[in-house]
Amino acid sequence: MKLWLALAVVLILLALLLVPPFVSISSYKSRITQLMSVSLGRPVHLSSVELRMLPRPGFVLTDLVVEEDPAYGSEPVLYANTVTASIRFFPLWRGRLEISRVSVDEASFNLVRASAGRWNLDSFLRNTASRPGATGGRSVPLPYIVATNARINIKDGAEKLPFSLLGADLTFWQETSGEWRLRLRGQPARTDVSLDLPDTGVVRLEASLRNGPTLSQMPVHLDLDWREAQLGQLSRLVIGSDPGWRGDLTGELHLNGTAQSADVRTRLRASGVHRAEFTPASPMDFDATCAFVYHYSKQTVQNLACDSPVGDGRARLTGDLPRSGSAPHLTLELDRIPVQVGLDALRTVRSGLDPALEARGSVSGKMSYDPDFERSNPPPPDLHPIRAKAQSAKARALIPEPLTGSFTMDGMELNGKGLTKPIQVVKAVLAPAPYQPGLPATLEATIPIPAGGSAPLAVTAHLGLSGYVVGVRGIASIARLKELAAVSGISDVSSLNELTGEPVTLDLSANGPWLQSATVIVSPSAPSASSTASAPPPPTPDRFSGTISFNKASWKSTFLANPVEISSATLHLENDGVRWDPVAFSYGLVKGSGTLEIPATCEVPQGCPPQFTVQFESLDASALQAAMLGAHEPGTLLSTLIQRLRPASAPMWPTLEGTVHLDSFILEPVTLHHVSAEVRILPTGAEISSLDGDLLGGQLHASGSIAVGDKPTYKLDGEFDKLEASAVGKLFSMRWLGSDLNGNGHLELSGFTDKDLTDSAKGTLHFEWKHGAISSGSETAVSAALARFDRWTGDATIANGTMDLAQTEVVRAGKKVPTKATVTFGNPPHLAFAATKIAKGSKR
């Protein structure tokens, strides 16, 4: 027995080795082509056929092309370089050639949807039903089809869509006559967008179909799951852009019925959902299950019922979704949904909320949306004004609303590290806002929030599907206002941090979208212009505006020795911009009014400093220095102030730019009138780009700087025009007559006290005076050349508390007379002339 078995094995092996070379494969090529064409229901072409005996008898087909039904296009439905077709062994003994299995590797399939809504699978499945074969009227069964590492493309008519399934493993076979089974696994991809493919997830599908007149009428059982998908990449895959969501997603779908009417059950689970810009302390998770009936031809969803546990409560959504373009009919029920869930959801779209903020309380209620409400025809208007007003109000009350119902929030309490005491709201109702034709439906609520004022703040909220509008009005203490601003996510509250005082009046509003516009990112290697996504619209930003009114407040800054007392001020907020206008203030003996504007955006690389204006009626220079740098009277904390002003240890001034206006500026022994100065405040001092004012009947034009060190240092360059001679003479208790004086000079001085400033003064002065006369004072002897002259010019040097006029020249009747004089600074200053002789000079 063993010998016969060995001989049989040897004979089989010899047959496998010796028979193929003697078999004419070319004679089978047309039969194989015809057989596969009948089996697949499509014209088939191939370039060559080889016989393979191991591991099982079969043929190796090269360059297999399966043509498409002309109704769905001209591109082949299947193309593969190499295909292995296994044959059924026993039919060969009866002289028939049958293919039992077709194995395809790295093939390309086209799934086509025609304009009428039918798919190319429709004719394929109908054609692959048992039909008469090529010989003897016998049936040709569908072979077992296996595809590995394939690519499945999706087409809409002749246009190839950017969607495809890569690395697909597909198995398709005919279970019984009229019943087919399908198993599929692959990775979704999109060709016109750059994707991180490992994050698009893996799709697995198992389905069974039974015979029917059309694909849409075939009974179907389908189980599909989509796992390991990342929300950002999934969004780019589905809509071509990244709205900015992150998280992990798993979806399941189970379908029974036909495409015309299918019972569908789905489950969608997501974990770690958050915005891409930031990761909140508590990312959002959800797990929702839905059931509905789907009608493919009508593209409608009926009997939708979605349930999701939310914290200790539950949410339920029911309704119908009509054809695309029609409004849905939906009802949402909330049962004890924790307020904390709403806070966590808000954190996923807003980054500034205090991460330590916690919420208590729950929301319950029911709300329905029905856009197909009937409207009653209003009665004709009454001409009587009072009756017409009442009739209009009654008519509005009778108009049904598309959105009905309400949600009630009970026992809300917000706690956080930034709050000295919780924010408590006993009850608040969120209900539909009055219907306005042409505008989307919104929900509104008014929430009273105690804020340290005589009455709670009134917070009104209007919430829509795409955005929100929130208003805050009332009175709040400054301390509570700082806390509310910080925990609500307002990033810059520096305008409030250094303020104390009486409660303020608020009138604020904010509005914007829940999410910013999506950013479309297109692959640089997009295959065609038709599939390239268009540029996105610019994002719609949040808008924040309103006013905060202050009375009797105090502002303490780190770079000022004493607080600024504010009698009244209005803070205007516009998006990120801040404007104080007007502000009435006092700082020591200095009193004035002003404005301060902090720009929201800046297009200049070096930045845009805040802009200010300050207006004073009358200001004494000594009072200003005492206020800004500290008093210099004995017994004060001058030494401490000086230490604070050292750049190495003292808080630096912020950079500011602005204009200072003064009705009068007292600089003993002179006073400037109608002064206007353009000033740039720097961390270590100030720059005065221009200073203009009326001086001694003339004008002064100057520029300079102030530097803060051990002592404040002042520098000034300027010129004076048309000073009245009589006004200048009064400074020295002398009688000067004649035309105006002109000149220019440079001056540097430093210190806190008058003596420091006088002793440190140094600089130069040039002057010119035409057609003048000087009369002697009671204690001053005047050079005879100056009793009457045609011109007096000269240059002076300022040092050691004096101004030395050593290089002056008097021209009188064509004669030049050198003249010397000395001015000793003081209050008043003292002018002394040196004795001179009148020398002969040439006539001009």
Q: What is the DSSP string of 583-617?
A: EEEEETTEEEEEEEEE-S---STT----EEEEEEE
Give the pLDDT of residue 391.
Answer: 52
Give the pLDDT of residue 536.
Answer: 42
Within 10 angstroms of residue 236's Cβ, the number of other Cβ atoms is: 24
Q: For 114, which DSSP code?
A: -
Task: Please give the helix or strand (H or E) that residue 743 lies within, else none.
Answer: strand 741-750
Give the pLDDT of residue 8.
Answer: 57
∠ CA 591-594-595, nearest 5°, is 155
Within 10 angstroms of residue 373's Cβ, the number of other Cβ atoms is: 12
Give the pLDDT of residue 376.
Answer: 41
- Going by pLDDT thresholds of 50, 70 and 90, the confidence category of residue 141 is low
∠ CA 23-26-31, nearest 5°, is 105
Report the pLDDT averaged over residues 443-451: 90
Q: How far apart are CA 662 and CA 495, in angstroms?
A: 26
Q: Which residue has the higher pLDDT, 111 or 134?
A: 111
| Model pLDDT for residues 502-534, shown as the tens digit of each residue | 999 999 998 888 765 444 333 333 333 333 334
∠ CA 506-457-405, nearest 5°, is 125
- What's at 201, amino acid-wise? G
The backbone torsions φ and ψ at residue 11, rounded to the nearest 5 degrees and listed phi first, read -65, -40
Q: Which residue has the higher pLDDT, 501 or 38?
A: 501
Report the pLDDT averaged over residues 392-400: 48
CA 648 centroid distance within chain: 38
Report the pLDDT averaged over residues 369-388: 56
Q: Dump strand ranges (E) for 34-134.
A: 44-45, 48-52, 58-66, 78-87, 99-105, 108-113
Give the pLDDT of residue 378.
Answer: 47
∠ CA 107-112-118, nearest 5°, is 145
Within 10 angstroms of residue 421's Cβ, the number of other Cβ atoms is: 10
The backbone torsions φ and ψ at residue 405, rounded to the nearest 5 degrees and listed phi first, read 105, -170
Residue 442: C-alpha distances to residues 49, 430, 462, 473 (Å): 69, 10, 6, 21
Q: How far apart are CA 246 and CA 275, in angstroms?
A: 6
Give the pLDDT of residue 534.
Answer: 40
Residue 139: C-alpha distances to residues 38, 126, 177, 434 (Å): 10, 14, 11, 70
CA neighbor of 496 nearest in space, from 510, 479, 475:
479
- Per-residue pLDDT at 303 exceeds 90: yes
Report the pLDDT averaged over residues 543-551: 90
Q: What is the pTM of this model?
A: 0.68
DSSP for 421-436, please give it.
S-EEEEEEEEEEPPP-
The backbone torsions φ and ψ at residue 12, rounded to the nearest 5 degrees and listed phi first, read -65, -45
Within 10 angstroms of residue 828's Cβ, the number of other Cβ atoms is: 12
CA 362 centroid distance within chain: 31
- Per-residue pLDDT at 170 exceeds 70: yes
Q: Which residue has the higher pLDDT, 102 or 130?
A: 102
CA neighbor of 50 nearest in space, from 91, 14, 82, 15:
82
Report the pLDDT averaged over residues 803-832: 88
Domain-wise residue ranges, the chain? 25-193+204-209, 433-520+541-601, 609-714, 724-844
Within 10 angstroms of residue 575's Cβ, the number of other Cβ atoms is: 14
| Model pLDDT for residues 203-241, shown as the tens digit of each residue | 999 999 888 777 778 899 999 999 888 888 888 888 888
Burial class (CB in 10 A: 0-12, 13-18, 19+), 21: exposed
Q: Give the HSE-up count for residue 717: Cα atoms under 13 Å, Cβ half-sphere.
A: 5
Q: Dump strand ranges (E) for 339-422.
A: 358-369, 403-415
433 Ramachandran zone, left/alpha/beta (phi>0; psi -120 to 50): beta
- What's at 37, amino acid-wise? S
Report the pLDDT averaged over residues 731-748: 92
Burial 291-328 (b: 16+ CB within 10 A, else e): ebebbeeeebbeebebeeebeebebeebbebbeeeeee
Burial class (CB in 10 A: 0-12, 13-18, 19+), 769: buried
- Per-residue pLDDT at 148 exceeds 60: yes
CA neighbor of 117 nearest in space, from 216, 42, 208:
216
Mean pLDDT of the chain: 80
- 8 Å CB contact between 474 and 506: yes
Report the pLDDT averaged over residues 475-504: 81
DSSP for 179-210, please give it.
EEEEEEEEEEEETTS---GGGEEEEEEEEEEE
**Encoding tokens for residue 686?**
């100030």
| Model pLDDT for residues 180-193, shown as the tens digit of each residue | 899 999 999 988 88
| Model pLDDT for residues 243-258, shown as the tens digit of each residue | 778 889 899 999 999 8
Q: Which residue has the higher pLDDT, 530 or 805?
A: 805
